[in-house]
Amino acid sequence: MAVEKPTIQQLFERYGSAKEHAQQVEQYAQKLFDALNKNICSFSQREKEYLKTAAYLHDIGYAVEKKSHHKHTMNLILENGIAGFDEEETKIIAHIARYHRSSLPDETKHKRFASLDENQKQLVKKLGAILRIADGLDKPAKNLILRIEAKETPESIDFYLKTIGFKPKLKMAQEKSDMFETVFNKKVNFYLI
């Protein structure tokens, strides 16, 4: 008898803790996705679902251990599965969540990543890069970004952030742009509007 997979919410309730942070990162990931998808990238709505799910679940690995929580997040997603996503989609979501912090995807060091097909690897890199920035935008927590626009120049991708009456600290978002800059081969800049 097959075990029923948990929903996204059930998986979060089982292992998650910082719900406000998870929701905020999910929102920022969607805003970044939409800003890029309009004129810089071409993603599907299903791929947006992968990103939203990974963003919401990205920190559930804290239930196992703080230090390597990103790896534990991947393992928890793979072990439990997620209702509404098949095995291949679950692998993609798990890897997107895994790369929200620490090292970048590496085929020689990360065997599970190496086992993905080329299209999956590229998707994980792109959506993982977006998730990294979204996570960085919520550090320190309580940033309130209303809107994000993206513009591409020959050298960079510039993100314009509309905030609620204050200047957020963008240092962590800039630091977490490393994967994005590698994947898209362009510098990332943030501007407040």
What are the extents of the domains in the chain?
A: 8-140
Pick the CATH number of 8-140 from 3.50.50.60, 1.10.3210.10, 2.40.50.140, 3.40.605.10: 1.10.3210.10
pLDDT at 169: 75
Does the pLDDT of residue 1 top 80, yes or no?
A: no
Summarised one tens digit per residue, pLDDT across range 17-27 is 899 999 999 99
Query: Residue 138 in 3-state DSSP?
Result: coil
The set of long-range contacts for 158-161, using a CB threshold of 8 Å and a minimum separation of 24, is 158/188, 158/189, 158/190, 158/191, 159/32, 159/35, 159/133, 159/188, 159/189, 159/190, 159/191, 160/191, 160/192, 160/193, 161/137, 161/190, 161/191, 161/192, 161/193
CB 26 within 8 A of CB 124: no
Q: Give the confidence band of 81 by pLDDT, cuts at 50, 70, 90.
A: very high
Q: Are strands 145-152 and 187-192 parallel, antiparallel or unpaired?
A: unpaired
The two three-digit tokens of residue 33, written as one number: 């996705």
CB atoms within 10 A of CB 170: 19
The two three-digit tokens of residue 169, written as one number: 């600290």
Give the full edge-to-edge strand order of the sheet including 187-192. Answer: 145-152, 156-163, 187-192
Summarised one tens digit per residue, pLDDT across range 98-136 is 999 888 898 888 889 999 999 999 999 999 999 999 999
Mean pLDDT to the nearest integer, 43-71: 97
pLDDT at 34: 98
Beta bridge partners of 156: 187
Q: Give the confidence band of 142 by pLDDT, cuts at 50, 70, 90.
A: low
In one letter, which amino acid is 99?
A: Y
Does the pLDDT of residue 73 top 60, yes or no?
A: yes
pLDDT at 108: 84
pLDDT at 166: 63
Residue (of 45, 64, 58) closest to 138 by Cα position: 58
Averaged pLDDT of the chain: 93
Summarised one tens digit per residue, pLDDT across range 161-188 is 998 866 677 889 999 999 999 999 999 9
Residue (of 185, 153, 157) closest to 35 by Cα position: 157
